[in-house]
Amino acid sequence: MANSTDEISNFKVVLLGKGCVGKTSLVLRYVVDKFNNNNISTVQASFLKKKLNIDGKRINLAIWDTAGQEQFHALGPIYYRSSQGAVLVYDITDQDSFQKVKTWVKELRKMLGNDVYLVIVGNKIDLEKDRHVSLEEAKEYAEKVGATHCETSAKLNQGVDEMFFTLTKNMLSISEQKQLFNSTLSRQNSQRRNVIVVDDEQEPSMSTSKSCCGSSGA
C-alpha cells in the first residue's frame, strides 16, 4: 500500500527560451498532442502535468512554462529554482534565440550545478529552408556543456516525445544516483531548499519498503 504512493517520482521541468521559439507549442504537443488549436481543452498552457511510466517507475512531470520576453529574463532563477530538468528551446531559424540558450545554460550551471539535466532543443525544423542555426554547431555546443541536443517540430510532431523521454530518463538516473549517494553516506542532506529531500526519502522505498523507517531512524 505504501509502495504505490512511494513509487511516484515528481520531477519539475522548466521550459526556458526566448519568446516565440515555441515553448508552449512544444509542451502542448507533448501533453495534449495538439498544435496551434484554439479548441485545446486545457485553458492554460503555462503549467502542465504529465504522468509517465518508465521501466515500471511512475513519474509525474510538472512542466513549468516561463515567460520568454527579455524583460523577464531576470526572473529566471525564481522559476528554475529546485527543478530537476530544464528544456532550453531555440528556434533554428533564429540565431539570436540560440545565443539566448547559451546564456541560460551558463546561468543554470551556475545556479544549479550538475543536479539539473539540460536538454537543448532546436524547434521548428519544419522551417528547414530558413535554418540559421546549424545542427553541428548546436550539437557541438551541447556536448561541451554536458547537455543533450534534440531537434523537434511541434507543428509536425517530430521528436517531441523522444525529447521528453530522454529528459525524463536522465532525470531519473540522476536522482537515483543522488539517492544512492545519499544512502551510502546514510546521511540526510538537510538542505531544505532542495525539494528532492522528500523524494529521496521516498525513492529508496521502491527497493525496500523498510528503508523508509531506516532513514528516518538515522
Partner 1 sequence: MTLPLSGRIFIANDNICLIFKRSYKYIMYATKQPSLRINQADLQCKEGCGFYGNADWDGYCSKCYRNHMEQARRKKLKQAANAQSGHQGESSKSQVSGFTKFEEKKRQQTDKKTKYFKSLPVFKKTSSAKDIGKPEKYAGLRQSNDPDADKLKTEFLSKYKYLGDEIRRDFLRFSDSFIRQILEDTNVKPVDELAEIAQKRYNVYNTRINSYHLYQQVSAEVRAELEDFLEKYTMTALYTSLFCPSSTNDEDKDLSIQDRIRKLTWVNAHHLDCCISETSLEVRDLVYTAINDLLGMDSVKAPQEKLQCVVKCCRSVVEVLQHCQGGPVSADEFLPALIFVVLKANPARLKSNILYVTRFCKESRLMQGEAGYYFTNLCCAVSFIENLTAESLNMPEQEFQSYMSGEMTTVSAWDSALVACEGMHQLCEHLSLLNNLNERNISIQEEKNKLMEEMNALKEDIKRKVSSVLESTPLVIKPRKSISVTDEKPSGGSLLSNIAIATHNSENIDKTKLTLDLTPCIKFPCIIEDNIEEDNVLKPSLSADLLSPFEQSFEGTTPDDNSILGLSKVNYDIDLSDLSAENSMAEALTPEKRFSPTPSYTPDPFSPVGTTCTITQQPLIPSSVPLQMTVQKEPQQIKDDFVAPFLEDLTRETAEETLLDKIEATPTINLPPPINPIKTEYSGFSKQGWKIPSIPCNTGDYSSLSSQPGTSKQDE
For residue 153, the 8-state DSSP code is B
Q: Which stretch binds partner 1 (CB under 8 A): 78-86, 102-110, 155-163, 167-175?
A: 78-86
Size of the site for partner 1 (CB under 8 A): 47
Q: Which of 13, 30, 33, 72 binds partner 1 (CB under 8 A)?
A: 72
Mind giving me the DSSP string for 160-189? HHHHHHHHHHHHHHHHHHHHHHHHHHT---
Give yes or no for a contact between 49 and 61, defined as CB atoms under 8 angstroms apart: yes
- Range 81-140, binding partner 1 (CB under 8 A): 81-82
Q: Which stretch binds partner 1 (CB under 8 A): 77-85, 94-102, 131-139, 178-186?
A: 77-85
Per-residue binding letters, 6-45, with partner 1 (x by CB under 8 A):
----x-x--x---xx--xx---x--------xx-x-xxxx
Give yes or no for a contact between 215 and 197, defined as CB atoms under 8 angstroms apart: no
Which residues are CB-neighbours of 161 under 8 A, at least 6 positions away?
A: 30
- Single-letter residue type at 105: V
CA pair distance 140, 46, nearest whole angstrom: 30
> Which residues of the chain form contacts with partner 1 (CB under 8 A)?
1-2, 4-5, 10, 12, 15, 19-20, 23-24, 28, 37-38, 40, 42-47, 62, 64-69, 71-72, 74-75, 78-79, 81-82, 190, 192-193, 195, 197-198, 201, 212-213, 215-216
